Amino acid sequence: MVGYIVARRTAKTDQVGGWGLKRKRMGAKARSVDDWSRVSAPTVLGRVKGLQVLAAFALDPVGASGRHLMPLGQAVELTRLGTSKRRILFMWGPEYNRQFLLRSKTMRTSGLWPLKSPPGSAQRSLSYHPLKAYGPEQAAFYDLIDPFFNRSVIEQRSNDIRSMIVDEIERWQPGIHDFYELARRCMERVAFTLLFGVDESSRFNELSDRLHEYHRANWAYPAIAFPINLPGTPYHAGMRQAKALQRYLYSWMDEAEGNGGSKFVFQRLADGRRADGCPFARENKAGLVAMLSWLAYETTATALSWAVFLLAQHPAILADLVDELSAHDSAHDGDADRLLSLPLLDAVVKEAMRLIAPVPLISFRMAHAAAEEEEIAGQRFAPGSRFYVLPHLTHRLPDIYPAPDRFRPGRWFSSKPTAYEYLPFGGGQRRCPGFWLAMTNLKFALAALLERFRPVVPDRARIDRMYAVVTMPKNGLPLELVPRDRSIASRPSQSASGSIYDLFTPEPNRPVRH
């Protein structure tokens, strides 16, 4: 049970609005651990606030972290009632990001699929995957997946990647669509072709639909809050989805093995070894494939969706980007390297992921098996403690990003944040291995899309966000694709609404350079 919330004392502290809480401001420079020497005493009001914050965080972590945590500084701790030594620390800002991500040898992430279930169940084996590994086990996993996504592989295959993306986008029709669905189909084709070594669209659609449904079932709050395995309950639906997905992956694996391992990822898994030298068990292979497949398309589809949405809301920037792309060769052919290094295209992609971080928070747990307590931010944390690193809040620090809630790609021409000031792909030893693929996909997709269409947010559209590892559109992302040769009113939708608008303040007619 969580008892109270305290922020830690530092050289610069302020009282925060009557809660008896202290707030901490860390500069960009490292401070000594002595800054962290004392903890302010919790107040009764603090306890109430702690529980309130935790409840808000469980329902909407992105919104709650902005509202409740950000005003408190750059690190907030929740301490449990009673004698438990396990604590919860929320961190953001470059100094804490660096301290934590560089020393996370005993930290594992909380994984993708939170529903708890008994050992031996399909849900348990799908949800126990290498994101939950740490130390040598995690290193072995990195070695296993490196040949799929490392920089040189992606550079060598950039023309194939571009052809797939252009081919997908050429099938899109003008009109109002759920853009997120289109983006998923496009990104799934690239990711799965690289993973499985073949381009089989009907199968890919089925796999991504199953993964998508399974993922949503895992993040249905009633299923998390009431894990009751009775027919008709959301939890039961989640368990059913897990079994169906596992069966599906098994049948695919069996077929691939029967064919002499023609499917690339299955072959690597069959040949691969865990850190202890043992081969992967069947259920580990299915879990690994599910995890990799989901990460490889869904993260990028979400990032692409929000980037296009932000452009649609900022017509002047969209026009500047179209100019930059038009001055370049066509998105279909021409020099891929040049396209990938166009400055405004690069800045738009970075700025979109700053403002709506696809992975807004990274949740870690210190392994229960860790031998010793870890010192983080000057405090000792026991095995089992939880840590949240918050790119969403780091990306909103006004000292680093002036006017942080504005979509201003131009800021990237004059500033170059460090790896701990800008971390849409995480950082340190667990940094996302899909970085090169993701950036390549996003740039090719934007170029190919804008060569054919202008994205427009339809009047009275409602666009809500939800948190499920990534910040994804809750009920799809309605966007109108207007053929490029038709002139469109150069204004964003004034009548659209929804919780995505909490994350930025539109500024319709400001060009990139000002």
Which residues lie near ligand HEM (CB under 6 A)?
A: 109, 130-131, 138, 145, 149, 292, 295-296, 299-300, 303, 358-359, 362, 424-426, 430, 432-434, 437-438
User: Pairing between strand 362-366 and 386-389?
Assistant: antiparallel
SS3 at position 376: strand
- For ligand HEM, the closer of residues 7 and 449 by Cβ is 449
- For ligand HEM, the closer of residues 135 and 508 by Cβ is 135
Smallest gap from Cβ 140 to ligand HEM, in A, equals 10
Q: How many CB atoms lie within 10 A of CB 47?
A: 17
How far is Cα 149 from Cα 434, in angstroms, rounded to an integer?
6
| Residue of 433, 410, 398, 297 whose CA lies nearest to 350 | 410
Smallest gap from Cβ 49 to ligand HEM, in A, equals 28
Smallest gap from Cβ 357 to ligand HEM, in A, equals 7
DSSP structure class, residue 168 = H
Cα 497–Cα 500–Cα 506 angle in degrees, nearest 5 = 75
- For ligand HEM, the closer of residues 223 and 355 by Cβ is 355
Contact of 418 with 93, CB cutoff 8 Å: no
Smallest gap from Cβ 228 to ligand HEM, in A, equals 30
Smallest gap from Cβ 302 to ligand HEM, in A, equals 7
- For ligand HEM, the closer of residues 218 and 493 by Cβ is 218
462-486 as b/e: b if 16+ CB within 10 A? ebbbbbbbbbbbbebbbbbbbebee
Question: Helices (DSSP H) in 88-233: which residue ranges?
Answer: 94-102, 122-127, 136-149, 151-156, 158-170, 179-196, 201-218, 221-225
How far is Cα 341 from Cα 344, in angstroms, rounded to an integer?
9
Contact of 448 with 484, CB cutoff 8 Å: no
Smallest gap from Cβ 156 to ligand HEM, in A, equals 16
- For ligand HEM, the closer of residues 218 and 299 by Cβ is 299
Smallest gap from Cβ 229 to ligand HEM, in A, equals 29
- For ligand HEM, the closer of residues 143 and 333 by Cβ is 143
How far is Cα 270 from Cα 144, in angstroms, rounded to an integer?
11
Only one residue has tokens 């392994």, namely 367
- For ligand HEM, the closer of residues 10 and 138 by Cβ is 138
